[in-house]
Structure 1
């Protein structure tokens, strides 16, 4: 099957004939799972689904404002954000994805990185590819001494959160000076919108490095580095190593958890769940009970039948225990107190 990456700002509209008639479900947010959601929604037969890939930060804002039925986000909302919401918001993970350091170095296809080195590149402390820290991780590799062009997100981004969450765990300097978040005060870098925007900067700029979700690196034919995990192994991102990041992690009932820098010896260290966020009580504004049921049916599909599309698009499936927790969360949805 040929994979097609749709543009970041594109609006995915899938129309189907169904028992739900003309019900349309709207969502917005993360670009991280956009290739997967494009496929899921194209195959879904229960309703029309519109999903706008505008970044996790925007998705969270829109679900708080109740202008969409669901938000896509690569990081869970904080307790403070949830407290400010006009109703109880729920999270369910739909996949596990990997964030990779993609690079453009003429003549170089494979590189090793570790957390401190990536942090120092993004702190602006490592400025050229010929830096001793990079050479030490890559013995025998002839690396051109080009200046490093740092590419990063300009929009509120769950991919940024995942990457910066990882850096905060492996670099005390990064944690104290920059920290983790959807939007950051970047020390250096060229900003671009969406995973596809960052991928575009890397692809067009010799000497560039940028963090992107795995599928965007593959579809743009970008080289990406192996990253040293907590066990000291250099791991190349793939479905298996990404899935390993969730093994041994205690998943809370609400599923909000970080998977970065996993202790699993075979895990890729910059991995994360990607989430859908929605209201438990679907009776608000002018919403009908049928709309609430349509959303519940879609979400159930995403964590069950829809999982068949994850691996073919370079995402890991939900572990069985996590999928079970997600179904329990979905089943708690109601319409004005009435179970959907």
Structure 2
């Protein structure tokens, strides 16, 4: 329904103020957001940098991608972040509450496999071996399958403790999607999901929870966004990629995965439900790191006229100028084509 003359006049009055970071009485706009822990480190950096440029406060609370989605649907945040695109069921719930939801890629990152094997500083794994570790088919560090990939490495005779996220998590979605692609057994028993049901191991909250547990518990293995591994100085496993090359998680490996995966649009849900959603796991290419995910900002296409322009202005900055912060924080910058498409989607947001 088109806006009434009164609604349009109110939008004309409020939009310039909100875009400048102020509401009608001149006080700073405070944008509330939350969700993905994967994107939290760069989101906090974006919030600090943006605050210096405009009088807009971005309050981002990391809570997991599942919570980010549910909070957007419940309209308790101005925008959310998720590393797993919304499912058909989640989209239907959102439409019932406030209409169409936009998915905007904001950053790309590697999911690093971190480990604490006493006496081991460098480790190589394959996807199928990693899947068997999480299925508990491999439960000791000196298992022949692990030893064959690490000749000459003094692997300990100790149990492996696989660590997973305790809450609904987009990082888990990316990790489990990769394992489902490379291991038929994992595909059949667990599948690509934000909440893995596993035969053993332990659950921890957030990327920082997994990082802390692995760092402090000999025998543990886990998966976190690369920045959390780097910040906590935890050993990271190298992985053999689809092309058979042994690679480590780097910004270059992330960019290579994005470049090859974005050549074709996924036809499977949930990616097929969204214009700018891509699966970057197990990508082709000699340099591609195999466990790569995209963090998406999600927001209703119809925004309120008081805070909506400030939300749109911030996200436009994130997908353009904000990308300069990515590499230093161990994320991959968006391809230019993605930035242009995300900006175009934000230009189409309405304020009613």
TM-score (norm 2): 0.87
Answer whether contact 2:22 2:29 (CA < 8 A) is retained.
no
Superposition map of 1:200-239 within 5 A: 200-239=212-251
- Residue 290 of structure 1 aligns to a residue whose secondary structure is coil
Superposition map of 1:106-185 within 5 A: 106-185=118-197
Q: 2:263 aligns with which of 227, 233, 250?
A: 250
Answer whether contact 1:148 1:209 (CA < 8 A) is retained.
yes
Answer whether contact 1:30 1:59 (CA < 8 A) is retained.
yes
- Which residue of 1 is the match for residue 44 of structure 2? 38
- Which residue of 2 is the match for residue 317 of structure 1? 333
In structure 1, the gaps of 5 or more residues are 1-16, 284-288
Deviation at 1:18, TM superposition (A): 4.8
* Of 170-179 and 102-111, the range deviating more from structure 2: 102-111
Q: 2:108 aligns with which of 93, 96, 105?
A: 96
Quote the Cα distance in structure 2 between the aligned partners of 1:277 and 1:188: 33
- Residue 318 of structure 1 aligns to a residue whose secondary structure is coil
* Of 17-26 and 220-229, the range deviating more from structure 2: 17-26
Quote the Cα distance in structure 2 between the aligned partners of 1:18 and 1:330: 17
Deviation at 1:230, TM superposition (A): 0.5
Answer whether contact 1:247 1:264 (CA < 8 A) is retained.
no
Answer whether contact 1:251 1:322 (CA < 8 A) is retained.
no
Quote the Cα distance in structure 2 between the aligned partners of 1:254 and 1:332: 14
Quote the Cα distance in structure 2 between the aligned partners of 1:19 and 1:301: 17
- Which residue of 2 is the match for residue 281 of structure 1? 302
- Which residue of 2 is the match for residue 66 of structure 1? 75
TM-score (norm 1): 0.90
Quote the Cα distance in structure 2 between the aligned partners of 1:77 and 1:325: 19
In structure 2, the gaps of 5 or more residues are 1-19, 266-273
- Residue 92 of structure 1 aligns to a residue whose secondary structure is strand
Quote the Cα distance in structure 2 between the aligned partners of 1:255 and 1:112: 33
Answer whether contact 1:192 1:198 (CA < 8 A) is retained.
yes
**Residues 164-211 of structure 1 deviation map (CA, whole Å, 9 limit, x = unaligned):** 000010001101110011112122211100000001110111111011
